[in-house]
């Protein structure tokens, strides 16, 4: 959702407990931390639900890939009001090659103002996945996401602009964005632990 011109998620009453458990994932106590995050997710912690869903979608050292279970966790987070859940669900649908469902979910998250989803929607328009290809609309969406601080969108604008995909004006834009982008990467911080977007 967008409040006062900035994207925000519903508050998580378990945020402090999640952050403590998340920090312990990288210690010898990682099994206990994982179990604690799962318990928090079952107790209604949105951050914990999204964490478990993201890890199941990606499949890594903590969880084996399980797209169907990831989708269930995303849907629970969505039921709690998390727009970021729509974004994760879209990525899960893309992994299953369900482009139409991915477009629907990505569009929902983008309409709610989630910057990575706005950029992700641009990628779907570029690739023509779930929608007719439209590079002009993709560029518009990336500019919108970039204005909201999404560095992945800035990177795409630079990459494609330098390759003249947006004409001379796009090339100049890319050159002008390159130095601020490099500086932002040096100073980057995650908005949330294990967030899907960089600010």
Contacts for 55 with CB less than 8 Å, ≥ 6 apart: 62, 63
Q: What does the alpha-carbon distance between residue 117 and residue 37 come to, in Å, rounded to a whole number?
A: 25
Q: Which residues pair with 7 in a beta bridge?
A: 2
In this predicted structure, what is the pLDDT of residue 136?
A: 94
DSSP H or E segment with residue 7: strand 6-7
Tokens of 170: 């796009």
Distance of CA 145 to the CA centre of its chain: 11
Q: What does the alpha-carbon distance between residue 131 and residue 138 come to, in Å, rounded to a whole number?
A: 11
- Per residue in 70-128, pLDDT (tens digit) is 999 999 999 999 999 999 999 999 999 999 999 999 999 999 999 999 999 999 999 99
Distances (CA, A) of 101 to 7, 71, 88, 123, 172: 23, 12, 12, 15, 36
Helix (H, G, I), strand (E, B) or coil at 2: strand
Helix (H, G, I), strand (E, B) or coil at 13: coil
Helix (H, G, I), strand (E, B) or coil at 6: strand
In this predicted structure, what is the pLDDT of residue 189?
A: 55
In this predicted structure, what is the pLDDT of residue 198?
A: 46
Helical ranges in the chain per DSSP H: 15-24, 30-42, 46-58, 67-79, 83-95, 99-111, 115-127, 135-147, 151-162, 167-186
In this predicted structure, what is the pLDDT of residue 190?
A: 46
Chunked into runs of 10 residues, the chain (199 residues) has average pLDDT values of: 57 89 88 94 94 94 92 96 94 96 97 94 96 95 93 90 88 88 72 48
In this predicted structure, what is the pLDDT of residue 61?
A: 82
In this predicted structure, what is the pLDDT of residue 88?
A: 96
Q: Taking a C-beta distance cutoff of 8 angstroms, is the pair 73, 56 a contact? A: yes
Domain boundaries, the chain: 1-96, 138-199
Question: 121: closest CA among 79, 82, 83, 91?
Answer: 91
φ, ψ of residue 97 to 5 degrees: the values are: 65, 30
pTM for this one?
0.85
In this predicted structure, what is the pLDDT of residue 182?
A: 83
In this predicted structure, what is the pLDDT of residue 7?
A: 61
Question: 12: closest CA among 27, 22, 4?
Answer: 22
């Amino acid at each position: 959702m967008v409040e006062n011109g900035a994207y925000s998620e519903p508050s998580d009453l378990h945020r402090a407990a999640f952050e403590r458990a998340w920090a312990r994932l990288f210690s010898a106590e990682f099994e206990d931390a994982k179990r604690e995050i799962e318990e928090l997710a079952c107790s209604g912690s949105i951050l914990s639900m999204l964490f478990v869903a993201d890890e199941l979608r990606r499949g890594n050292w903590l969880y084996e890939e399980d797209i169907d279970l990831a989708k269930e966790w995303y849907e629970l987070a969505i039921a709690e009001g998390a727009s970021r859940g729509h974004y994760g669900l879209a990525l899960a649908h893309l992994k299953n090659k369900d482009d139409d469902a991915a477009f629907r979910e990505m569009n929902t998250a983008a309409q709610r103002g989630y910057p990575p989803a706005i950029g992700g929607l641009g990628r779907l328009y570029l690739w023509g996945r779930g929608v007719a290809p439209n590079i002009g609309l993709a560029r518009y969406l990336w500019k919108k996401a970039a204005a909201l601080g999404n560095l992945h969108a800035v990177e795409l604008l630079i990459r494609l602009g330098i390759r003249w995909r947006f004409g001379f004006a796009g090339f100049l834009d890319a050159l002008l964005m390159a130095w601020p982008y490099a500086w932002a990467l040096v100073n980057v911080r995650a908005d949330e632990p294990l967030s899907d977007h960089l600010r």
